[in-house]
Amino acid sequence: MVYPFRVLFLFCILLCSSISFASEYNNDTLNIFSKISPRLILMSSQKEKLKNTINICVLHDKIDKNLALSLIDKTDNSYPNGIKNYKIIFTKNNYANIENCENSQLLFLFNTDDNNIKKTLEYAQKKKILTISYDQKLLENGVDISLFLGRKIIPYINVENIVKKDIVLNNILLRISKIYKRDK
């Protein structure tokens, strides 16, 4: 008689843990990122690289594949005709295929292990590509931009790292942003 209760209890624990893992990303926050990401390119010297398209590469682990697709869909819904005469093109890759992001102006990073983050940031530095992360904690690793989620939602910018890439940000973007400073 005790056995069915153990199975039910185990099932509840597994269900709750998978729900909490799946809720690591907030749908509303992804929606905000989908609206802000293309605009960040237009508010930086990355705009000079544009021809007819804005290229955004979304990097994810296998477990976040559906979230990456959701971010892309949200952006497509927000900008069905592109933005400012630029069509928005997405490349969706796992971290092992980062070389497919070579022509991107922005890398969107979903959470992954430290080794993938390090390799991605080295690649972005070498290719002078902006990086944006869902997780603002990755700013300390060298990600360029995230969002500060407080009373207001504002861009959180790692200016030191952006300068190393010779990327210049629009003054308006800098004025409305929170500047990340590494603790020394």
pLDDT, tens digit (0-9, with 9 covering 90-100), for 65-75: 999 999 999 99
Which residues of the chain carry a pLDDT beneath 50? 1-2, 4-23
What's the whole-model pTM score?
0.84
Q: How many domains does the chain have?
A: 1
Query: What is the residue range of 85's domain?
Result: 26-179
Taking the C-alpha atoms of residue 87 and residue 81, their distance in angstroms, rounded to an integer, is 7
What CATH number did the domain enclosing 62 receive? 3.40.50.2300
